[in-house]
């Protein structure tokens, strides 16, 4: 019993690190917690008497669990042609931050980066996250990926180029908010031309369980369909980006993050699942 208690205490010491690894791998808080719990189950059943580096052992286990989940997820998306918006950290722009939010913020990365990570193959994401984000040596990542060390280096290199090649959002939150307000004002007024002007010509709208929309006119047309939501929009930070939380009859209805580049909205990420919104904004 004492040995089990000691093992549990050691695991809890490593939990924040394991949760951060799993979150970056999966982009989902719920799936990350499941992956960490799976690591605990494997640890509790394993003989670790000869394990010199428990943190490394656990990171390997979490990496393998996440890789399997990513491969399963990729297969499901190919079957059903759905899209996915990762779980961002949502906070109010003003007001105190709760301890729970502080823990999430410590684990979080920007939504724009999570979206780029979502475009990587499972093996590319594994190599990039473990090596580039957490400093795990390639010789340790290779067995998890089931590749040679040289092939694993190539996976990380390809992933790195994709991440670095993605345009970054404008860093000035005030300017982001001005552009978002212009978008909301145009939506409230039903001004199609004003909406088009504030959108990048190649703007992309991602929404859970729906196909992607690309192009200023298509996205502007969709925005007009939901113009009444603009009246209830409350400003929030979503993965570090300017966003809004819109409600219907006092209940959260839509969570939208805006990626602003060069003074225009280049990407919109929308979450409309009520249970998911509640979990992210609680």
Identify whether 160 is part of a domain: yes
Q: Is the pLDDT of residue 195 over 80?
A: yes
- Binning pLDDT at 50, 70 and 90, where does residue 105 land? low
Residue 79 CB neighbours (<10 A): 8
Identify whether 98 is part of a domain: no
Please state, in angstroms and rounded to a whole number, the distance separating the CA atoms of residues 37 and 18.
10
- Same domain for 48 and 133, yes or no, is yes
CA nearest 125: which of 107, 148, 144?
144
Identify whether 135 is part of a domain: yes
Please give the mean pLDDT across all residues of the chain.
86
Instruction: Calculate the dihedral angle through the C-alpha atoms of 272, 276, 28, 173, rounding to the nearest 10 degrees.
Output: 60
b vs e for 212-230, b when ≥16 Cβ sit within 10 Å of the residue's Cβ? Answer: eeebbeebbebbeeebebb
Please state, in angstroms and rounded to a whole number, the distance separating the CA atoms of residues 257 and 112.
10
**What does the DSSP assignment read for 173-193?**
HHHHHHHHHHHHHHHHTT-HH
Please state, in angstroms and rounded to a whole number, the distance separating the CA atoms of residues 256 and 244.
5
As a whole number, mean pLDDT of residues 214-218 equals: 94
pLDDT value of position 279: 86
Identify whether 101 is part of a domain: no
Q: Which of 165, 198, 230 is the last residue of a domain?
A: 165
Tokens of 127: 């190599």
- Same domain for 154 and 18, yes or no, is yes
Q: Is the pLDDT of residue 107 over 60?
A: no
Q: Which of 99, 131, 165 is the last residue of a domain?
A: 165
- Same domain for 127 and 181, yes or no, is no
User: Is the entire prediction scored with pTM above 0.85?
Assistant: no
CATH of the domain at 185: 3.10.450.50
CATH of the domain at 64: 1.20.140.160
- The whole domain housing 60 covers 2-81+119-165
Tokens of 179: 């552009």
pLDDT value of position 101: 54
Extended strands (E) in 123-240: 199-207, 213-214, 234-238
pLDDT value of position 109: 67
Q: Is the pLDDT of residue 65 over 90?
A: yes
Q: Is the pLDDT of residue 87 over 90?
A: no
Number of domains in the chain: 2
pLDDT value of position 6: 84
Choice among 30-34, 113-117, 182-186 with the minimum mean pLDDT? 113-117
CA 119 and chain centroid, separation: 11
């Amino acid at each position: 019993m004492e040995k089990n208690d000691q093992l549990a205490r050691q695991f809890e010491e490593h939990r924040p690190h394991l949760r951060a690894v799993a979150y970056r791998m999966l982009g989902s808080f719920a799936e990350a917690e499941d992956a960490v719990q799976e690591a605990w189950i494997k640890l509790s059943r394993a003989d670790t008497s000869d394990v010199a580096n428990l943190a490394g052992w656990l990171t390997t286990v979490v990496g393998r669990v996440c890789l399997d989940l990513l491969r399963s997820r990729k297969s499901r998306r190919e079957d059903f042609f759905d899209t996915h918006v990762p779980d961002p950290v949502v906070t109010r722009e003003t007001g105190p931050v709760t301890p729970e939010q502080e823990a999430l913020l410590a684990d979080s990365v920007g939504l724009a980066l999570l979206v780029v990570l979502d475009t990587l193959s499972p093996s590319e994401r594994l190599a990039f996250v473990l090596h580039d984000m957490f400093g795990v040596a390639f010789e340790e990542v290779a067995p998890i990926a089931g590749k040679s060390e040289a092939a694993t280096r190539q996976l990380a290199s390809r992933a790195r180029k994709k991440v670095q090649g993605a345009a970054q959002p404008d860093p000035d939150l005030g300017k982001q908010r001005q552009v978002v307000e212009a978008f909301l004002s145009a939506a409230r007024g039903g001004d199609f031309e004003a909406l088009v002007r504030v959108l990048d010509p190649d703007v992309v709208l991602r929404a859970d369980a729906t196909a992607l929309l690309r192009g200023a006119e298509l996205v502007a047309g969709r925005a007009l369909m939901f113009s009444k939501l603009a009246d209830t929009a409350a400003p929030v930070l979503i993965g570090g980006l300017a966003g809004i939380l819109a409600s219907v009859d006092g209940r959260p209805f839509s969570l939208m993050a805006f990626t602003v580049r060069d003074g225009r909205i280049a990407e919109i990420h929308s979450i409309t699942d009520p249970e998911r919104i509640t979990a992210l904004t609680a």
